[in-house]
């Protein structure tokens, strides 16, 4: 309405012509929940179960320390000498049983996240691993998850160490995460497959049996559209952190073994053997669950292409190969689960291409609406962006003037997404619709009760998961 003027003079009025705009929210801000070396900063603030935003490994080390050092490594050095005592050959072999290695892999998981294009993320320390004696506590992980309930920015939830839980506890913590996603509607769970008694890092493991154990006992049936699972584990290029004072080195010369010595003592007594042993330790395969690498790929794809691009057919950086090799026949059963639709996305090695993410399905693999990861995450992105933008209209008059502004604001936002390739259709009206108003989405009772109802429909792009080439003989025309 016109502003009343009481003093004679010249007045300037600026008339807004453009509708309010929608700012796109971030789509790939993971929250990693697990155990850390320490849980305090330099001011000794307690960071246990306190979501902390970081952007690099330097920040991670500042607040949460480094990797837990391995103590169960042994090194054997076999040396051959001729009759004059001159060495003719030396070979060092290091060994570390998967069952004996540290279960606390948060540091390595963050390394893989940043290797694969990750950026800002949150760390939620469930506690310091040195106080646990090697085990993980379900209630502490759940407490870390609950702490994220009050933080708005995270959009992806990851439990890097969850494979080391009992499968019942693995199921419990991920069901709680899926419940949080369904309640907030602004985040997504990336999980690893738990094979129960079968290790996803053992090359001899039957992958289909492990996946069957996961489907049967590792996840329920609720809110599956808010999560995706990946298998098998991956062999990375990372080096283990080691405690040199705990590593035994056995030096054998011409078949005669000398007394074992600790690695750290060789630095001064026999530096050649020390360096040889260190090289053997660096060659040990560091096998990790893939979830943190996948979170990095989500972030990379979102930044380069957009959240609507399926995060698949992409190589994983820092990886030598999948821990388990398998064929198309086995992947058929991973990708499609006729019983419960619990699709598991494959990580496969291809000649000349490297190790690729070869699937982009949610756990709701039989749901035509929410089958694909990119479709689910696109809707989360649009829902959250529109939700935040429409908050400015709370308590505005619920009349046609407001409705026009809201509709124009949302349509402008969706038009931009359509032009970027997020929505199908050769025209905007084919790609989406926005409806708001009396007789369209609201009744007179809705207006009396203070409700402004906006209906938005989108035709999301879906990945070409199956490319079918049809060939036939063309008959020669006479």
| Predicted local distance difference test score (pLDDT) of residue 412 | 94
How many angstroms separate the CA atoms of 26 and 389, rounded? Answer: 14
Surface-to-core class of residue 289, CB atoms within 10 Å of its CB (0-12 exposed, 13-18 middle, 19+ buried): buried
User: What are 431's two structure tokens?
Assistant: 């790609």
| Predicted local distance difference test score (pLDDT) of residue 44 | 55
Q: Which residues contact 53 (CB under 8 A, 6 or more apart)?
A: 120, 121, 122, 153
Low-confidence ranges of the chain (pLDDT < 70): 1-2, 40-44, 133-134, 465, 467, 478
Cα 311–Cα 314–Cα 318 angle in degrees, nearest 5: 115
| Predicted local distance difference test score (pLDDT) of residue 373 | 96
Is the domain spanning 30-67+102-238+286-375 CATH 3.40.50.11780? The answer is: yes
What pLDDT digit, counting tens, does each position of 51-76 carry?
999 999 999 999 999 999 999 999 99
User: What are 129's two structure tokens?
Assistant: 């691993």
User: What are 121's two structure tokens?
Assistant: 């993320």
ω before 442 within 30° of 0 (cis)?
no
User: What are 236's two structure tokens?
Assistant: 């990375």
* 129, 88 contact by CB (below 8 A): no
| Predicted local distance difference test score (pLDDT) of residue 18 | 75
| Predicted local distance difference test score (pLDDT) of residue 2 | 67
| Predicted local distance difference test score (pLDDT) of residue 138 | 92
User: What are 260's two structure tokens?
Assistant: 């074992």
Scanning 77-216, the segments in alpha helix (DSSP H) are 106-115, 138-147, 167-184, 207-213
| Predicted local distance difference test score (pLDDT) of residue 42 | 53
Surface-to-core class of residue 80, CB atoms within 10 Å of its CB (0-12 exposed, 13-18 middle, 19+ buried): middle
Surface-to-core class of residue 1, CB atoms within 10 Å of its CB (0-12 exposed, 13-18 middle, 19+ buried): exposed
pTM of the model: 0.92
The domains of the chain are located at 30-67+102-238+286-375, 74-98+241-282, 394-478
* 174, 159 contact by CB (below 8 A): yes
How many angstroms separate the CA atoms of 312 and 121, rounded? Answer: 21
How many angstroms separate the CA atoms of 310 and 303, rounded? Answer: 13
């Amino acid at each position: 309405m016109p502003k009343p003027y009481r003093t004679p003079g010249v007045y300037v009025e600026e008339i807004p012509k453009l509708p309010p705009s929608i700012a796109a929210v971030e789509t790939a801000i993971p929250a990693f929940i697990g155990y850390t070396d320490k849980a305090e900063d330099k001011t000794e603030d307690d960071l246990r179960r306190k979501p902390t935003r970081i952007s690099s490994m330097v920040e991670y080390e500042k607040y949460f320390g480094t990797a837990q050092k391995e103590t169960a490594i042994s090194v054997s050095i076999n040396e051959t000498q001729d009759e004059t005592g001159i060495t003719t050959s030396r070979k060092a072999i290091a060994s570390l049983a998967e069952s004996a290695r540290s279960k606390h892999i948060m540091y390595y998981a963050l390394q893989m996240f940043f290797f694969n294009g990750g950026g800002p993320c949150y760390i939620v320390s469930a506690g310091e691993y040195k106080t646990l004696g090697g085990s993980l506590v379900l209630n502490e992980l759940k407490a870390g998850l609950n702490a994220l309930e009050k933080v708005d920015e995270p959009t992806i939830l990851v439990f890097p160490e969850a494979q080391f839980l009992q499968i019942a506890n693995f199921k419990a913590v991920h069901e709680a995460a899926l419940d949080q996603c369904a309640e907030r509607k602004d985040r997504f769970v990336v999980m690893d497959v738990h094979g129960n008694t079968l290790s996803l890092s053992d090359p001899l493991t039957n992958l289909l049996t492990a996946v069957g154990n996961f489907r049967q006992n590792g996840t329920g049936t609720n809110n599956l559209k808010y999560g995706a699972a990946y298998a098998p584990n991956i062999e990375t290029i990372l080096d283990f952190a080691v405690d040199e004072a705990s590593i035994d080195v056995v030096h054998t010369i011409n078949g005669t073994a000398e007394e074992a010595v600790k690695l750290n003592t060789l630095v001064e007594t026999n530096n050649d053997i020390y360096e040889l042993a260190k090289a053997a330790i660096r060659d040990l395969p560091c096998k990790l669950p893939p979830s943190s690498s996948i979170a990095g790929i989500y972030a990379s794809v979102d930044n380069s292409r957009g959240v609507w691009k399926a995060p698949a057919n992409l190589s994983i950086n820092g990886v030598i190969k999948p821990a388990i090799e398998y064929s198309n026949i086995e992947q058929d059963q991973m990708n499609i689960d006729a019983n419960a639709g619990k699709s598991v996305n494959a990580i496969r090695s291809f000649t000349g291409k490297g190790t690729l993410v070869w699937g982009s399905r949610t756990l709701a693999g039989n749901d035509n609406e929410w089958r694909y990861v990119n479709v689910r995450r696109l809707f989360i992105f649009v829902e959250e962006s529109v939700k935040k933008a429409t908050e400015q209209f709370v308590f505005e008059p619920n009349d046609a003037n407001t409705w026009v502004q809201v509709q124009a604001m949302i349509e402008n936002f969706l038009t931009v997404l359509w032009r970027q390739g997020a929505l199908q259709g050769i025209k905007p009206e084919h790609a989406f619709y926005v409806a708001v108003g009396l007789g369209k989405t609201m009744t007179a009772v809705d207006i009396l009760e203070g409700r402004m109802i906006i209906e938005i429909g989108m035709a999301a792009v879906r990945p070409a998961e199956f490319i079918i080439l049809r060939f036939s003989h063309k008959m020669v025309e006479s």
